[in-house]
Structure formats: structure tokens, C-alpha cells
Amino acid sequence: MNISEHTTNLRKYMEFRKYSPQSISNYCSAFTSFLAFFEKRGVQHPDKITSNMVIEFLGQFKEPATHSGYHSAIKVYYEKVAHTGIEKFKYIERPKRNKKLPIVLSVEEIQRMFDVCHNLKHKAIFALLYSCGLRVSEVINLKWSHIDRSRGVINILAAKGNKDRQVPINDQLLTMMENYWREFRTKDYVFAGQCSEQYSTESILQVIKQLAAKANIKKRVYTHLIRHCSFTHLVENGTDINIIQKLAGHSNVKTTHIYTHISHNLISKIQSPLTQINLCAKKKNKKSRLSPTGFIAKSAEKNSGQRRSMPPPAR
């Protein structure tokens, strides 16, 4: 099987349709692994791979996100490149997504991370992630020309889904970015690597993890969590959910509603039905049990009283 030829055809289609470079890389990598899997089994052409064989391949991935990623890559090739995917994918469904809610950091924990950050470059990256709710890919692709100082906004171009959007930049953050530029003098991209024009996602992840460790935060902290924290704290401050949707770049407001589910302020206002129950109610006093000796004495006293109350016999 000529794997590189089929993968190249997929790449050309995706480039023609203006998919993002990250999506092209992910899809082509997944499709290459898919073809290599069946090449080891003696399959000579992608057209020879049946629906049941695709299901078997996808079944080895336990994580829904991984399963779905491979599903998308394979489906794009068969439907858009080979034009045989309508029947092949007719009965192949996507896995159900895990409905896990992220465990976000409190404002106090975010403050602690800023307090232990003494590197200006690291602080600027962290501030952008938190203040603007940027994705890590948007941070590393940010250019100086994208920052409109006169209007106080950052233009996020060709982000996820190839969509553009604008996010406000705080005066405090703008001052920090100006100080950062004076010290580092980067040319095109705002954050440059030591040996490359752009900073890497792995480097940013290490920065965030190190700050969390220094701040003695025991929760699992990762780069995308800072974005979750940003929008959750906006919800808690009363920002309209539709405005947050625009800032986040979500196509559907249902995606944004996740931040209402993890907002501490909203959850803390919920009144538990247990508040209607008195857990400290006094127990009713039970009659104390008498010992056999006490019972006999009590009975004798009672009987004696009864005899004294009887009238004398008639003469």
C-alpha cells in the first residue's frame, strides 16, 4: 500500500479547504496510522478496508476524544477524497463524549501563581492566558501586529475553526506587554523560542505547571485549565453568557454554558433541601426499664395501696 500517496491526497484536499495547519497535521498523522495498521495485515489499498474493519480499528481507542479524532480523519478521506465514505460510514457512529467538568482554580489560587512568577516573559504568557482566555495555540501564534493598542483589543486571527475574533486587553496587561517588548525586542511573533521564531506549546505547559507547583496548588493544572478559569470567573462576576461566548470563540452558546455548571458562586447559592430538616431535633424520652427486683417492689407497693383503699368487711 502506498501510504504516503494517500496521505498526500488527504493533505492536498485539506489545504484546498483551508483547514488549519494543526488540523491538517493531526488528521494526516491519524490517517497514516490507520493505513499502517491494515498494511501489516496485508491490505493493499484503502478501498479494501470494510466498515467492520474500520469499527475494529476504532474499537481499540478507549478515550472518546482519541476515538473521535481518528473517526474524523478517516471519514474525511473516504467521503471527500475517495468518495466512498457515505456507505462505509453509514453505520459507524461516534463515541459518546465524557461529560467531565474541569476542576477550576479559585481567584486566590490564580493570585498565588502570579505572586510566585518573577520571570517577565512567563508572567506575560500567564496573564494573556488568564486575562484574555486564549488557547495555547493562539498565544504562540500571536504577533505584535495583532495587538491594537489604540482600541485596546487583540485580534485573534484564523483560530480554531479558522475563525477570527477580538478580545479586550486590560490596561495593566498592556503595560506589561510594553515592558516585555522593551526587554526582549522580539520581531514578528510576540513570544519567541530560544532557537526558533515561536515559543512551543510544551514550553508554555511547563511554565504553567512550574508556577502551580511553586504556589503549592495540589489540583491538576494544565494550560487549557487557565482558559476555563478565565471564563468561569467572568461568569461569577456577572458577565453575560453571550458575551463570554464571543470572547471564547464558541459557535454554540451551549458550549459556553459549561462555565455556569462549574461556577462556585452559582453553586453556592443553591439551597439544599436538607435546610428544611431539623437535624438537631430532641429525641422523645423513653420510659426507663425496671430491674426484676424493682418491678416486684413496685408491684408490691401498688398492691398494698390497693388493699388499704378497700372498705372493711361487713359484720
Q: Kindly name the residue from 6, 227, 228, 233 that is annotated as catalytic.
A: 227
The whole-angstrom separation of Cα 117 and Cα 176 is 13
Tell the residue number behind the cell numbers 504516503, with chain if given.
4
Between the alpha carbon of residue 102 and those of residues 44, 109, 179, 225, 250, the distances in Å are 44, 15, 33, 7, 17
Q: Kindly name the residue from 135, 189, 228, 233 that is annotated as catalytic.
A: 135
Give Cβ neighbours of residue 77 (< 8 Å, ≥ 6 apart). 6, 9, 10, 31, 46, 85
Q: 166 phi and psi, to 5 degrees?
A: -120, 140
Query: Active-site residue 250, yes or no?
Result: yes
Q: Kindly name the residue from 160, 165, 214, 257 that is annotated as catalytic.
A: 160
Q: Kindly name the residue from 48, 219, 224, 298 that is annotated as catalytic.
A: 224
Q: Which three cell numbers stand for residue 183?
A: 526587554
Strand order in the sheet with 153-156: 147-148, 153-156, 165-168
Query: Active-site residue 160, yes or no?
Result: yes
Query: Active-site residue 146, yes or no?
Result: no
The whole-angstrom separation of Cα 156 and Cα 119 is 25
Query: Active-site residue 123, yes or no?
Result: no
Catalytic residue annotation: 135, 160, 224, 227, 250, 259
